[in-house]
Amino acid sequence: MGLKAIRLYQEDAEKFSSVYVTRQQVMVVGEKTVGKTSLCRTLKAKEPELASRDDRTIVLEETVLQELEAGVELRFTDFGGQRLYKVLHPIFLRINALVLVLFNLELYETNCEHYFKSVGFWLRKIQAKTPGVTIIPVGTKGDTVTEEKAEAKAKHVFDHAKNYVKIYRKNLENRLEEERKKLRTLLQTDPSGTRSGSDLLANIKKGIERLERMQGSILNVQKPVIISSKEFHGVDELKKRILQVAETKSCALPENWYQFAKLIAERAKKDDAMYMPYAEAKELWDQATPSKKSAPTMLESIKVLLTSPMHGKFNEEDCEKFETVLTFLHRWGAILWYVSPRLKDYIFHNPKKLTNFFKAVFDHDMETTLAAKRRRRGFPEYTDVKFEEEMSWFKKKGLLTKKLLQGILAADFQGVDLDTMFSLLQHFDLCYEVRYMEQPTLYFPWFLFQRLPDDVQQLWPKTMEPGVLQLTVEFHFITVVPPSFFERIQVLTHSKGPYKQLPRRDWSEGFYMSLGDVKVFVERFQYHNDGVLQVSVRGKDLGKLWEELKTMVTTMQGLLDQCPGEACNIYYICPGCIRSQVDSARAKKEEWTWMCTTRPDDDVAVSGRLVAGATSVPSIPCYDNAPVDEMIPACLQYPEMYNEDMYELVREYLSSPQIKQESSGECTNQEAANDQGSSLDPSSHHHHHHYHHYHHQHHHYNTTYCTHNNINNCQYVQVGNGNIMERVPEYLSEPPSDVEHWDLDTDPR
């Protein structure tokens, strides 16, 4: 991990005299007009200095505060709070940053919805991108409410934030325990790992390692501070708290490192370029590193910056040492530099210029900008009809062809390699490159404000046609689907093979596509405390359905590896239950990995559930103790069992009348168990969640969302193998508007 880097640092520190400069990055985030800019100005001026009412921050502003007494330089990044800018934070967030999450005491109401919108949202987002950073919630405009009210609101925020951290940690523990148990069982029953397939074993081990890493990097949420920038209340107290955090992270820089940072900064002032090529930066580094000097070491302090459980790796190549410095300076806040192959060669040393670029790309009103440019005879190589076509892709699908975007940027960013900049955007999931209609195109999910298109109901009707089968897999995440996870799936399917004119629909919470014989429907929604991503395929040919579903799931599993801060459970919903439109709470679920890696014969041995049904081919019950006529062919449940010979059997099953399952005794009991919040089915290794409708998107939100205002009202329910899920914490009571894009607020475009 970072050890090698530390040793290098030590050598350097011995050779050169150290310079003690503590620099603390402070990210100021929160809803629009909460008072971010006012706070930064007030801190700088050391007296009240409010922003005016129409002084909206575009993208971001930087404020530098030199606290000479403390020997600390504070660098505030004040982000614009409007929804489009919310996607930009990850670029500037570094693992050693301190984040101030501002909430408006004047408007804050002590309920879950308010909490989630103003604070909870940020915690989740930050935990997902940069786990383990320190957060101070800040209640603003304290002058507008009484002291008691302010205290009560701050307490509400703090209680919920602590609760979130607690639940997150608890869920991690439970998952870890579950995985360890799985591993133990597996090793006992099958020590060589041959029967279950070594993949399963390796996967479980990998999962355990990741969960252990995650345990080491959980957000540190501090007690809130109440301030008023207007009356200068609490501002000094806040500064004191910031300096305290900075102190714990103070570190000395070897002089040559510091010199290098200075040379880069001077360069940025002089040449106005957006980035510096690697080779040029290396030259500066050589300049900054003269022969010998000696200096004390400051090992402990710098460790903080060079190691972290989630981001501990350094590249060990020829230029290793130089890259260590770059990594360090990135975390320290002097430059932006990313180790990904496509970006490695660029050192972003000019934050201003970079910010301008983001301002141009993340244009609130890109549509108008494009149209205006066209009116001024922009895009001369386009015919009107072509221009309108590409504009409609932008409006309906969030797809912007590179040509159009280049047309917008070219004049202001001459000499900038736009392809590099586009890579940077993609590196941060701000957009994705896809080929659309043979055009290199960038997909900006953030520009896609479209709600569920009307015709999706016809394309994916609630009741399936006769002979059609639906297979469904669900990815359940702790609290929310990780940022950008859904968008990336959306993107990966954009480039799906030869289907040029793919009939597809995209909206902010889902997409539908037709791949010839197979139709695919993907949707993101909240289910109690889980963020769920649901993938369904429909068609008549089971072989093809399995193929598509497996491809989708494999793709998504691959993406999961890129979300180190997340754990997830994957479930397969019984297709028999779906077909007979069983109430979602009672649909049977199987763990996907188990299903795919277990041969059904083993499963017979393990669970005894595989029985010969009415036909000569193995059938399995739709739910425990189901009568024979509610059996489904086992190949609907186990992909491994499907082969050509099953074709007729499945056809026969699909032509049988659909049984609408009425409440059977067993299921009712389960529901009762749900209501009491007790364990659902502890004896089984299969998780039976209480469940909501999956048949149609509109019903996802019919379930009981949080209506409790008091944290003490939040209940807990035990699901499956002791997986504690909090039933009612900080969720939104009316998801459609707020869950829309989970990181967008609801102001109109």
Binding site for ligand GTP (CB under 6 A): 32-38, 50-51, 53, 55-57, 80-82, 140-141, 143-144, 228-230
Taking each continuous run of H as one helix and of E as one strand, the counts in the chain are: 26, 26
Containing H/E element for 506?
Answer: strand 504-507
305 touches 96 (CB < 8 A): yes
Give the other-Cβ count within 10 Å of 597's Cβ.
17
# chain residues binding Mg ion, by CB under 5 A: 3
CB of 348 to ligand GTP, least distance (A): 23
Q: Between 79 and 694, whose beta carbon lies closer to ligand GTP?
A: 79
CB of 147 to ligand GTP, least distance (A): 14
CB of 57 to Mg ion, least distance (A): 3
Q: What is the 3-state secondary structure (H, E, C) of 517-546?
A: CEEEEEEEEEECCEEEEEEEEEECCHHHHH
**Binding partner selected for residue 22 from ligand GTP, Mg ion, none, CB under the kind-specific 5 to 8 Å limit:** none
Q: Does 327 bind Mg ion (CB under 5 A)?
A: no
Q: How is residue 482 annotated by DSSP?
A: P
**Binding partner selected for residue 396 from Mg ion, ligand GTP, none, CB under the kind-specific 5 to 8 Å limit:** none
Beta bridge partners of 188: none
Q: Does 118 bind Mg ion (CB under 5 A)?
A: no
**Binding partner selected for residue 143 from ligand GTP, Mg ion, none, CB under the kind-specific 5 to 8 Å limit:** ligand GTP
**Binding partner selected for residue 33 from Mg ion, ligand GTP, none, CB under the kind-specific 5 to 8 Å limit:** ligand GTP
Task: Give the integer Cα–Cα distance in Å for 321 and 355.
Answer: 29
**Binding partner selected for residue 470 from ligand GTP, Mg ion, none, CB under the kind-specific 5 to 8 Å limit:** none
Q: Does 569 bind Mg ion (CB under 5 A)?
A: no
CB of 32 to Mg ion, least distance (A): 8
Cα angle for residues 30, 34, 36 (degrees, 5° grid): 70
Q: Does 536 bind Mg ion (CB under 5 A)?
A: no
Q: Between 144 and 222, whose beta carbon lies closer to ligand GTP?
A: 144
Q: Does 33 bind Mg ion (CB under 5 A)?
A: no
Task: Give the integer Cα–Cα distance in Å for 279 and 369.
Answer: 37
CB of 25 to ligand GTP, least distance (A): 18
Question: What is the maximal distance between C-alpha atoms in the chain?
Answer: 87
The burial class, CB within 10 Å (0-12 / 13-18 / 19+), for 625 is: exposed
Q: Between 80 and 333, whose beta carbon lies closer to ligand GTP?
A: 80
Q: Does 259 bind Mg ion (CB under 5 A)?
A: no
Cα angle for residues 691, 678, 626 (degrees, 5° grid): 55
Residue nearest to ligand GTP (CB): 81
Where are the extended beta strands (E) located within 575-630? 589-591, 611-612, 618-621
Q: Does 57 bind Mg ion (CB under 5 A)?
A: yes
* Parallel, antiparallel or unpaired: strands 18-20 and 252-254: antiparallel
**Coil, helix or strand at residue 453:** coil
**Binding partner selected for residue 35 from Mg ion, ligand GTP, none, CB under the kind-specific 5 to 8 Å limit:** ligand GTP
Q: Between 37 and 355, whose beta carbon lies closer to Mg ion?
A: 37
Q: Between 36 and 686, whose beta carbon lies closer to ligand GTP?
A: 36
The burial class, CB within 10 Å (0-12 / 13-18 / 19+), for 719 is: buried
Q: How is residue 104 annotated by DSSP?
A: E
CB of 26 to ligand GTP, least distance (A): 14
**Binding partner selected for residue 303 from ligand GTP, Mg ion, none, CB under the kind-specific 5 to 8 Å limit:** none
Q: Between 640 and 743, whose beta carbon lies closer to ligand GTP?
A: 743
Q: Between 229 and 569, whose beta carbon lies closer to Mg ion?
A: 229
Angle between helices 278-288 and 320-332 (to 10 degrees): 90
The DSSP secondary structure of 153-216, one letter per residue, reads HHHHHHHHHHHHHHHHHHHHHHHHHHHHHHHHHHHHH-TT--SS-HHHHHHHHHHHHHHHHHHT
Residue owning tokens 């009712």 = 668
**Binding partner selected for residue 398 from ligand GTP, Mg ion, none, CB under the kind-specific 5 to 8 Å limit:** none
Q: Single out the residue of 22, 24, 25, 37 in contact with Mg ion (rule: CB under 5 A).
A: 37
CB of 260 to ligand GTP, least distance (A): 34
Stretch that binds Mg ion, among 49-57, 190-198, 268-276, 667-675 (CB under 5 A): 49-57
Q: Between 80 and 407, whose beta carbon lies closer to ligand GTP?
A: 80
Q: Between 364 and 373, whose beta carbon lies closer to ligand GTP?
A: 364
What is the binding site for Mg ion (CB under 5 A)?
36-37, 57
